[in-house]
Amino acid sequence: MTRHNAIWNRDGRNFAISARPEKLLLLVEQSRSPIARSSMSSAWQRFIRVAISEDVIEECERFSMHGLKHRGVTDTKGNRGDKQHAAGHKSPTTTGRYDHDMPVVKPTRRR
């Protein structure tokens, strides 16, 4: 966060606070422009390779950035509407594609 703040505040104006929250960019280049898709993809691949080499994850556990959204929606507490709101989806159908939560059911009794 310190590096992020330094980029936004380097000319004395606090852009991060003055911007509308829904317009804030989480990842930016040093120029304050949105990070390019190719730059983000390269950084993600480096991150995953380091995680594997440091034994944080196994090669077979490799996952994508897009997989993080699936995990985020699935792990969000609440009902489908709560998950839809948190993910920013306009349609419950879209949320359903991302939500991999398994319903908890009572086991059947054997007779």
Is residue 45 one of the residues assigned to a domain? Answer: yes
* pTM, rounded to two decimals: 0.60
Whether residue 64 has pLDDT greater than 80: yes
Token code pair at residue 100: 């991999």
Structural domain harbouring 40: 1-61
pLDDT category at 18 given cuts 50, 70, 90 is low
Q: pLDDT tens digits for 78-96?
A: 999 999 999 999 999 999 9
Length of the chain: 111
Check whether residue 3 and residue 52 sit in a common domain: yes
Check whether residue 72 and residue 90 sit in a common domain: yes
Check whether residue 46 and residue 71 sit in a common domain: no
Check whether residue 57 and residue 75 sit in a common domain: no
Is residue 107 one of the residues assigned to a domain? Answer: no
